[in-house]
Structure 1
Amino acid sequence: MRKLIVLIATLFVCAGSAHAEFSIPGYELVHTAPVETTLATPDLREPLQVWSEMFDAARQQIVLGQFYVASQPGATFEQVIARLAAAGARGVKIRFLMEEKGKFASDMATIERLKQIPNLEFRYLDYSKLTGNGIIHAKYMVVDGSAAYVGSQNFDWRSFVHIHETGLRITDAVVVSQLQNIFEHDWHAQELIAQGKEVPKLNQGVMAANDRQATFLVASPNAFNPPGVGDSETELPKLLAAAKSEVRIQLLDYAPLSYGPHRTRPYYAVIDNAIRAALARGVKVKLMVSNWNTEKPAIAYLKSLALLPGMEIRIVTLPQASTGFIPFARVIHSKTMEIDGQLAWIGTSNWSGGYLDNSRNLEVVLRNEKMAQRIAELHQQTWDSAYAQPIDVMKDYPKPIKGKE
């Protein structure tokens, strides 16, 4: 009997130490479900655990490309920064490349702390110097050239607790190498710009994605993608054109508009045309966006799209945290797509002009039924929740509160 009790106790310990993980060869799906909501994904690991694990495993180098950085005392995200600092302290070379325009969203104290980490070199890159009007919007890292992370999660404490986020831990050697090459290009671009030199384009024509592969990386902007990396602005409409029955999309926001000078919003029809063409073929499209998307003029285009047969749009509003209003949080921020139960798209780009054409963004395409089904279930969970409401084409939506009450 005593042996049986010991065996049962051992099994409980093992079960408690085991972690949930959803993966296919080369890719683990990682997710943040906002606290104090009914949304939950116990089969998916959180980035707090995954990022910490990746930094702990680093032996030679870590590279990070980020839009902005922000932490605060007492946040669980402090653990991530501590693990990064520990890696630097043991001799790991760290290079951190941040969008210069990201300063406006950053916590400058966090930036200064990062700069103090041993063996860490921190640089700002104004990506508009490459494209005329773009930013580093990608959120990614590569560790020892053997593991990488790409997703919607910013280097921000809120992304780990109060925002719906989706990403991938990647060990696919081809994609990891491509991500490293993208970082090396942009790191070198910063050096050229600092010297007052022009950054030469890598591509004059559109680079087609290697979509004969089951999984592959696409990126933007096309002109500065290294060899083997396809153009995301070309691939997204191509995938939508191949859809046969149903497409599920989750985004922070969607609009067939770009960003021009003097706060203008030039028309950008690339993605919108592809969705409308799919609808015209009889494909059903379920688009889910955050309540931040109710700003004018974007909401007018959403209402227009909602009128088409086969189109369903739901707007997601998450409740405030019990601690009170948190600026730039309590929102869905995942950027995912699932097509026909066969294909998953997980990336860093919002679906509007300026992101897939002028800014640095990364998207991973996985022709894998298991991953596609899990992305569809992730979409369905929020779609069916009390937080998601069908768009009302007759409603005059108030301006969303993002940064201040």
Structure 2
Amino acid sequence: MQAALNFLMLHWKSLLGWVWLLTGIYLAIRIVWQQRSPAATLAWILALCLIPPVGLVLYHFVGPRRVERQSLRRMRSRALLASETDLQALRANNPHPPVWATQHSRLIEASSGIPPSSCSKVERLLGGAATLRSILQAVQCACQHIHLEYYIFEPDQTGKRLLSALTERARNGVKVRLLVDGVGSSALLGWRGRAMLQAFVQAGGEFAVFHPARLDRWRPLVNLRTHRKIVVVDGSIGFTGGINITDEENEEQLPKTAYRDTHLRMEGAGVRWLQYVFMQDWVYASGKHRFEPEVLAPHAPGPFAVHVVASGPDSDGQSIHQSVLHAISIAEQRILLTTPYFVPTEPTFFALMNAALRGVNVQILVPRRSDSWLVTVAARSYFGVLREAGVKIFEYQGNMLHAKTLVVDDNYSMVGTANFDNRSFLLNFEIAVALFSPELNRQLADDFVHDLGRARLVAFNPRSTQWYHRLPASFARLLSPLL
């Protein structure tokens, strides 16, 4: 024993070097094996080699991961069969859709596995107060089941109001399932929400946590979050969009500071795919596979052509990223993009710039100051080149702008949970709805114009600003893949 200790004392530097080297080689092989982009792969390898302790910690908690999930094959077969009936009726009413619409839906289906569908009604909801009222109305009328999935579900006045309504319906025999993210909803999972959740479960409600925030080697704290906001009532009414369950987004609770946000209320066949996405996440997080027979009940097709787009690190399809890229590439007249976090991937950055260079009216609306200083600074590092290409960038001067909408020409738009950044496109679980409707396109375009009334055109050129502005922006931009 003493000889071994003496050997360690004499050669500890050499042993540490070998551990350093072998660990670096092992992690480098793991990174290369994932076949990510060359730039990201090299960046991670350099971080691990040059600053091993820091690089190892960063890779452990924010590095790229793949998530393996169980497939609901039987449920998916039922959904696809019902969807084919919907599509046949939809094509009968509109036998010759534009080529771009057909190709766009084909791309979404190929990358996400979700086919196009339709809705009998689609309503866009502005603000948390209107959204909460609409959700509560649907919940109070529920007869069979209510499914909810949220990134942020706070135990504040807004959360208490909704959870009380859910508890009441569970007590009356409605099957209620609530899934929340382990990081975004940490307050609900703490002592503040304990009594509320206890009452909910005792009333018959089911509750699950998506990736509990634990400091272990399986659960990175920052990435792999469910950023989705989904509500499905009786399989026929669905909600999704940017609005979480929190007083911060409820004008009735915080009229002076509530976020500006957009949500969707849907009825009809398209809700089936919000339901299916929720079911996948529920099975993954809870381990429970049993659902009621009516969860994927058939619906008559409606006049609104829609396509639910779901993406996440459980698939290489990058369906939201791909659909946004394609929508930008087919634009002929205008692109109106609203996003709270603008840290574009390299493909989306060049797609916006190319659209402006070919004469498309590209306008981007971002908050003057988001709730993340680093993201705000990083976003401004992209403004100069985009402005030189002809992109108009506006900074919203009102409360925090949290809406995530895209309007292309006169017939296409998208509303969802994904921000315009690497995290939403590649690292977190997101959902969006592509809308092939001139009416909804016009409404969202009007919302954009209305918001411009509280925005200011970015007139400065970041390239010519003082060094103390450019330097932080340049460093923040290096962190873009992590933001």
Aligned identity (percent) is: 21
Q: Which of 170, 173, 177 is residue 266 of structure 2 equivalent to?
A: 170
Instruction: Quickly say closer, same or farther: Cα 1:127–1:80, change in 2 above 3 A.
Output: closer
Residue 126 of structure 1 aligns with which residue?
211
CA contact 1:127–1:135 (8 Å) conserved in 2: no
Question: Secondary structure of 1:380's match?
Answer: helix
Q: Distance in 2 between matches of 1:150 and 1:103?
A: 17
Q: CA deviation at 1:155?
A: 1.5
Q: Which residue of 2 aligns with 1:220?
A: 311
Maintained 8 Å contact 2:313/2:428: no
Task: Please give the alpha-carbon distance, in whole angstroms, between the structure 2 residues aligned to 1:272 and 1:243.
Answer: 15
The 3-state SS of whatever aligns with 1:63 is strand
The residue number in structure 2 matching 1:310 is 390
**Whole-Å Cα distance in 2 between the matches of residues 115 and 388 of structure 1?**
47
In structure 1, C-alpha distance between the alignment counterparts of 2:339 and 2:131, rounded to whole Å: 19
Count of aligned pairs between the two proteins: 317
Q: Partner of 1:346: helix, strand, or coil?
A: strand
What value does the CA root-mean-square deviation take over the aligned residues? 3.0
8 Å CA contact 1:220–1:232 kept in 2: the answer is: yes
Q: 1:374 aligns with which of 427, 443, 447?
A: 443
- 1:214 aligned counterpart, secondary structure: strand
Residue in structure 2 matching 1:114, options 197, 201, 223: 197
Which of 173, 176, 180 is the equivalent residue of 1:98?
180
Which residue, 228, 236, 241 being the options, matches 1:151? Answer: 241
> Once structures 1 and 2 are overlaid, which stretch shifts more, 289-298 or 90-99?
289-298
- Determine the structure 1 residue equivalent to 2:430: 361
Change beyond 3 A, Cα 1:177–1:341: same
Distance 1:50 1:315, change over 3 A: same
Verify the 8 A CA contact 1:303 1:392 in the aligned structure 2: no
Aligned counterpart, 1:210: none
- Specify the alignment match of 1:56 in structure 2: 140
Q: Distance in 1 between matches of 2:185 and 2:162?
A: 20
Contact 1:349 1:356 in 2 (8 A): yes
Secondary structure, counterpart of 1:374 in structure 2: helix
8 Å contact 1:127–1:136 — kept in the other structure? Answer: no
Residue identity matched to 2:173:
G
For 2:162 and 2:312, how far apart are their aligned partners in 1?
Answer: 30
CA distance in 2, matches of 1:115, 1:215: 38
User: Which string of whole-angstrom CA distances, capped at 9 and with x for unpartnered residues, describes residues 61-107 of structure 1?
Assistant: 111111121143xx466433332222122111111111112244657
- Match 2:361 to one of 276, 284, 288: 284
Q: For 1:86, which of 158, 168, 172 is the aligned residue?
A: 168
Distance 2:459 2:159 in 1: 34
* Distance in structure 1 (CA, Å) of the matches to 2:311 and 2:415: 14
Partner of 1:250: 338
Q: Is the 8 A contact 2:387 2:393 kept in 1?
A: no
Comparing both structures, which one devotes a greater share of its residues to helix?
A: 2
Higher strand share: 1
- Letter in structure 2 aligned against 1:163: Y
Partner Cα separation in structure 2 for residue 278 and residue 168 of structure 1? 28
Change (3 A) 1:391 1:48: farther
TM-score by length of 2: 0.60
Give 1 or 2 for the bigger CA radius of gyration.
2
Equivalent runs, 1:366-405 vs 2, <5 Å: 366-385=435-454, 387-390=455-458, 392-394=460-462, 396=469
Structure 2: which amino acid aligns with 1:378?
Answer: D
Q: Could you say which residue in structure 2 is the equivalent of 1:274?
A: 351
User: How far apart are residue 380 of structure 1 and its match?
Assistant: 0.6
Q: SS state of the match for residue 370, structure 1? A: helix
Contact 1:115 1:122 in 2 (8 A): no
Q: 1:61 to 1:111 in 2, by over 3 A?
A: farther
Given the two structures, how large is their TM-score scaled by the length of structure 1? 0.71
SS at match of 1:101: coil
SS in 2 for 1:354: helix
Q: Could you tell me which amino acid in structure 1 is paired with residue 233 of structure 2?
A: V
Task: After TM superposition, give the deviation of residue 145 of structure 1 in Å.
Answer: 1.1
Counterpart code for 1:317 = Q
The one-character-per-residue Cα deviations of 1:82-138 (angstroms, maximum 9, x if unpaired) are: 322221221111111111122446573236413421121111111996999421001
1:149 Cα deviation from its structure 2 partner: 0.4
Deviations 1:249-290 (A, max 9, x none): 11111103xxxxxxxxxxx31321221221222112110011
1:183-198 alignment, distance < 5 Å: 183-191=278-286
Q: Compute the displacement of 1:230 (Å).
A: 8.8
Letter in 2 for 1:242: I
Kept in 1: contact 2:394–2:452 (CA 8 A): yes
Cα drift, residue 234 of structure 1: 1.2
Shift of 1:144: 1.2
In the TM superposition, 1:200-219 aligns within 5 A as 214-219=305-310
**Aligned letter for 1:98?**
V
- The 5 Å alignment of 1:333-352 reads 333-352=402-421
Secondary structure of 2:173's counterpart equals coil
Instruction: Give the Cα–Cα distance (whole angstroms) in 2 for the partners of residues 84 and 104 of structure 1.
Output: 19
Contact 1:48 1:77 in 2 (8 A): no
The answer on whether the counterparts of 1:342 and 1:372 sit within 8 Å (CA) in structure 2 is yes
Unaligned runs of 5+ in 2: 1-118, 252-257, 289-303, 474-483
